[in-house]
Structure 1
């Protein structure tokens, strides 16, 4: 497989491909730093399974984990998320520009048709 992105961006997208990991990222975004136990609470899986998902997110640079006594606390890491957002935004701008150009072309075509045959469009 050809990889067109830098490895860290590939890791981030691979990590975010999983719905559980996207849920964990969304939960951290809405609630801020949290313990692994608190993150695992609402999920229908073991603490160990949640911890494995967090390791994938951590390796991709999307979260950071720190020990606070006996607890492991997890928080979002902005740098990798920013890289993902920038990559997506490039393509969003690309498609918005293309669609704007298509809309302008269609408007010009409609005006040209109306100009060349105004009677047909007055009905």
Structure 2
């Protein structure tokens, strides 16, 4: 079980809440991209894409490095796995609750018969 502090969890889900950031994450998980190359793929300003990249970076979902004047971004697979693990834990809780509801309904039906 992966335990993340609440601030880190909030940052991860905030970063993933936006469709543009999810798309940027998909692209950089497939391979390293310069921020300018990422920006070329969107109908928004370079500065707007740069802000999306910064949110992903603060959440720890991507890493950035400099190569000359370029800023290169790549995805952090470990961070994405931590999100997947957290979602799996939440799903287990949900499935456990559904199973208990099913048991209660079955118990009521058995008592009625």
Do they fold alike, i.e. is TM over 0.5?
yes
Whole-angstrom distance in 2 between the partners of 1:72 and 1:88: 31
Residue in 2 that maps onto 1:121: none
| Residue 11 of structure 2 corresponds to residue 21 of structure 1 | no
Matches within 5 A, 1:1-123: 5-29=5-29, 31-100=30-99
Structure number with the bigger relative contact order (C-alpha 8 A, sep ≥ 6) is 2
Shift of 1:103: 5.5
Whole-angstrom distance in 2 between the partners of 1:27 and 1:103: 42
Q: Write out the 4+ residue segments of structure 1 that deviate beyond 6 Å after TM superposition.
A: 104-110
Aligned residues: 109
Whole-angstrom distance in 2 between the partners of 1:40 and 1:9: 27
Q: Which ranges in structure 1 are unaligned for 5 or more consecutive residues?
A: 117-123
Q: Is the 8 A contact 1:58 1:64 kept in 2?
A: yes
Shift of 1:96: 2.8
Post-superposition Cα deviations, 1:26-57, rounded to whole Å, max 9, x if no partner, equal: 2223x311111221122101111101110111
Higher Cα Rg: structure 1 or 2? Answer: 1
Q: Secondary structure of 2:41's match?
A: coil
